[in-house]
Amino acid sequence: MALAQAQALVPNLHVADATPDEDEASLRELARWAIGYSPVVAPDPPDGLWIDIAGVAHLFGSEENLLEDLTDRLTGRGIAVRAAVADAPGAAWAVARFGAGGIVPADRTADMVAPLPVRALRLSADKLGTLHRLGIERVGQLAAMPRAPMVRRFGRDVALRLDQALGHAFEPISPLIPHETPMASCVFAEPIGRSDDLKTILLRLSQDLCRQLERRGEGARRLDLIIQRIDQKGANLRVGTAKPTRDARHLAKLFDERMQTIDPGFGIEEVVLVASKVEPLREMQTEARVIAGDSTSEADMGRLVDRLGARIGTGKVYRLAPVQSLIPERMVRKIPPLAPPTGSAWPQTLPRPTRLLDPPEPVVVTALLPDHPPALFVWRKVRHRVAKADGPERIVPEWWNGDAGSVPRDYYRIETEQGGRFWIFRDAPADQGGNWWMHGLFS
């Protein structure tokens, strides 16, 4: 309808120019707001919004609650809203615009989409015209046609849209990444495949990222590397750091070990590096952290710990700190490798072995007198003659730690005739039938 015709029909018609750019900007704004519902949100111009709610619906109780919450809030802001939840983005798009909206049950996608007009398939105007001429008005009609002639007659894009609406074809949505996340990306004119190239790119990206972080006074705690291959398959790598850092070389190096796991396939066309977790880092990273008792070394333990953690997992790098306990198994506790120095050490007065058997292994013992240290013992099928012994050192169970039922142990340090030193204990006095156990090895 021409404007003049409309103005003739409605005398006081208010006319405003269309502003698609501003509309799109507002839509992006809305999409950013919708990240409160799910991290994967994409604007769908001109008037739509994708929200991938896989795995987030339970935070709102159910999908119904989530949908209600979303529509209520948008309506409250004066936005007319139609929303649908479905298994496939195409189905949700169709049901929200042309159907009743609401939840499409997982097994009823085809039933819900079939009665909708073919316009619900996101087709171009000329395809719609063709379908209309042939009298195909409903999605169900199109779906009922034999596949091969249908593809030949209307083209692959119609078949693809149909599959997307019915949930047969996967449809990726490219999520909106909030502005707040520092990221650096690189798109290649020619796909790359060599790992050396990838390393060079990674270093450049991480330098770029570190400049951004520096401007913001932040350091990265977690990095995501997103790699897009030309065949639309992707790979993600994630590394964490023990403390915020913006040392480009170091960050790039963290990916080195796992770079080999990436299969470049026919080539990589895009690499994105995202600092998905950042923490404030004010000072320049020149100060080195030095662990106790050293003035000359400049070891930056944070870097080392990150690199080791990237290889074997962050939980596998640790320090061992003393615990106020005399039970050997409880004397040690793991602390993070960069925790502040505890300053405490284990008491030096009682000799402790360098190797501990956990659990203790049974030994067969011959003692001259019931309460004497053994004169001979058999451990791992080897007979050891005892030359000297020291003990007993009685270690009583710690009732406050919940082992009220266990028995005190009498520990002996034993030196065999060959000079080997062992730490063995008896779990009860001899007259009560105590058994002997090998618990540790001294020097």
Partner 1 sequence: MQHAGQQDRLADLRLRIAHLEGGIRKTRPLPFGIREIDHHLPGGGLARGALHELVEAGMAAEFAGCATLFTAGIAARLNGPVLWCLTRRDLFAPGLSRAGLHPDRVIYAEAAHERDLLSLVEEGLHERGLAAVVGEMTRLGLTASRRLQLAAEGSGVTALVIRRWWTVAEKDLVKLPTAATTRWRISPVPSEVMPAPGLGWDRWQVELLRCRGAEPRTWFLEACDAKGRLALPAGLADGQDQAAIRRAAAQ
- By CB under 8 A, the count of residues binding partner 1 is 66
Piece in contact with partner 1 (CB under 8 A), picked from 72-80, 155-163, 212-220, 355-363: 355-363
Residues 198-257 binding partner 1 (CB under 8 A) are: 257
Q: What is the DSSP string of 370-400?
A: TTSPEEEEEETTEEEEEEEEEEEEEE---GG
Q: Does 312 bind partner 1 (CB under 8 A)?
A: yes
Q: What are the residues whose beta carbons fall under 8 Å from the beta carbon of 259, sequence distance 6 or more?
A: 195, 198, 199, 202, 237
Of 355, 394, 403, 428, the residue at the interface with partner 1 (CB under 8 A) is: 355
Q: Does 361 bind partner 1 (CB under 8 A)?
A: no
Residue placing its CB nearer to partner 1 in the complex, 161 or 426 = 426
Of 2, 189, 382, 404, the residue at the interface with partner 1 (CB under 8 A) is: 382
Give the contact letters, 324-353, x = binds to partner 1 (CB under 8 A), - = no: ----x--xx----x---xxxxxx-x--xxx
Q: Does 441 bind partner 1 (CB under 8 A)?
A: yes
Query: At its nearest, how many Å lie between partner 1 and the CB of residue 391?
Result: 9
Enumerate the H helices of 99-172 as residue ranges: 109-113, 125-133, 139-144, 147-154, 156-166
Q: Does 307 bind partner 1 (CB under 8 A)?
A: yes
Residue placing its CB nearer to partner 1 in the complex, 162 or 254 = 254
State how far the alpha carbon of 366 is from the alpha carbons of 322, 357, 387, 409, in Å.
35, 21, 13, 18
Nearest to 431 by CA among 365, 375, 370: 370
Residue placing its CB nearer to partner 1 in the complex, 301 or 395 = 301
What three-state secondary structure class fits 334?
strand
Tokens matching residue 159 = 């078949």
Residue placing its CB nearer to partner 1 in the complex, 226 or 331 = 331
Piece in contact with partner 1 (CB under 8 A), picked from 187-195, 207-215, 273-281, 297-305: 297-305
Q: Does 368 bind partner 1 (CB under 8 A)?
A: no
Q: What are the residues whose beta carbons fall under 8 Å from the beta carbon of 423, sequence distance 6 or more?
A: 352, 353, 411, 412, 413, 414, 438, 439, 440, 441, 442
Query: At its nearest, how many Å lie between partner 1 and the CB of residue 384?
Result: 7
Query: At its nearest, how many Å lie between partner 1 and the CB of residue 403?
Result: 20
Nearest to 85 by CA among 70, 100, 68, 63: 63
Q: Which amino acid is it at 408?
A: P
Residue placing its CB nearer to partner 1 in the complex, 182 or 337 = 337
Query: At its nearest, how many Å lie between partner 1 and the CB of residue 309?
Result: 9
Of 218, 247, 269, 300, the residue at the interface with partner 1 (CB under 8 A) is: 300
Q: Output 406-412 pairs: Cβ under 8 A, ≥24 positions apart.
A: 410/434, 411/439, 412/373, 412/374
Q: Does 386 bind partner 1 (CB under 8 A)?
A: no
Query: At its nearest, how many Å lie between partner 1 and the CB of residue 362?
Result: 16
Q: Does 92 bind partner 1 (CB under 8 A)?
A: no
Q: Does 417 bind partner 1 (CB under 8 A)?
A: yes
Q: Which amino acid is it at 395?
A: I
Residue placing its CB nearer to partner 1 in the complex, 165 or 237 = 237
Of 128, 235, 262, 301, the residue at the interface with partner 1 (CB under 8 A) is: 301
d(CA 79, CA 332): 60
Question: Edge-to-edge, what's the strand order for the sheet holding 218-229?
Answer: 183-192, 268-280, 218-229, 234-245
238 DSSP β-pair partners: 224
Query: At its nearest, how many Å lie between partner 1 and the CB of residue 377?
Result: 12
Q: What is the DSSP string of 12-75?
A: T-------HHHHHHHHHHHHHHHTTT-S-EEEETTTEEEE--TTTGGGGSSHHHHHHHHHHHHH
Residues 266-295 binding partner 1 (CB under 8 A) are: 288, 290-295
Residue placing its CB nearer to partner 1 in the complex, 185 or 325 = 325
Q: Which amino acid is it at 152?
A: R
Q: Does 364 bind partner 1 (CB under 8 A)?
A: no
Tokens matching residue 13 = 């018609």
Nearest to 321 by CA among 303, 335, 310: 335
Q: Does 415 bind partner 1 (CB under 8 A)?
A: yes
Instruction: Measure the N-to-C terminal CA separation of the chain; round to a whole number of Å.
Output: 97
Binding positions for partner 1, rule: CB under 8 A: 257, 288, 290-301, 303-305, 307-308, 311-312, 316-322, 328, 331-332, 337, 341-346, 348, 351-358, 382, 384, 387-390, 413, 415-422, 440-443
